Structure 1
């Protein structure tokens, strides 16, 4: 968990996204309290200090949001849609790999075809009448 938190590549689970949000809110509250204690929020020093601290916090939340969008199979730009961040808290990610990486829960589809001799490359359950199970891949 929290591998490369400032990177925009890869996928993260709902738990990591939720913890990231809590860290972001806590950090912003801490920064606000510190700036208020340093002096008037309108002073130049307090403004510079708050910008120096807020920019990395905002970058962290943007990166974590983009990775959560990737887990849903969407581009990171989707996080600017109103209320989509709320959806990212509750919606499950795509099972298996997608263009952004492997499933962080290590869930994959496993096919049990009734026909033998068909390759696994483009095998779909409807092709063979087989069943599909979702399994957790053991590492």
Structure 2
């Protein structure tokens, strides 16, 4: 797994989906505990509120970072994840084959342009 806090690089669909499943599950548990702590008393609610805000900020950061890396895998800027329903496109769409501006293919595939460059030797300069 790549660095979950970093916005650089590319990730596969599987890592994107697993990250969001874990985040959703974890935040559901934290939200439930936060809701229960509101009935426990004022001091417990104050501590739970601080913990809840910090957890939400971390979850938001991780979600945005994985979304940006998934956008990079599709050859787009990380800001594309702000487009409504683009998350579905990131979840079901295949990434770019081979290297792109954002890094190497996480699946290890080679693009046709890279294969052509590897197959054709560099032209030698003829000096007369």
Give the TM-score of the pair, scaled to structure 2.
0.81
1:62 alignment counterpart: 64
More helix by share: 2
Structure 1: tracts of 5 or more residues without a match: 121-139
Post-superposition offset of 1:45: 3.5
How many residues are aligned here?
116
Instruction: Confirm whether residue 111 of structure 1 aligns to residue 116 of structure 2.
Output: yes
Structure 1 vs Structure 2 CA RMSD: 2.4
Which residue does 1:32 correspond to in 2? 31
Aligned ranges 1:1-139 → 2 under 5 Å: 2-40=1-39, 43-109=45-111, 110-111=115-116, 119=122
Query: Which residue in the other structure is 2:126 paired with?
Result: none
Unaligned runs of 5+ in 2: 124-128
**Which runs of at least 4 in structure 1 moved beyond 6 Å after TM superposition?**
none
Measured in 2, the distance between the counterparts of 1:101 and 1:48 equals: 37
CA shift, 1:87, in A, is 0.6
Identify which of structures 1 and 2 has the higher relative contact order when contacts are C-alpha pairs closer than 8 Å and 6+ apart: 2
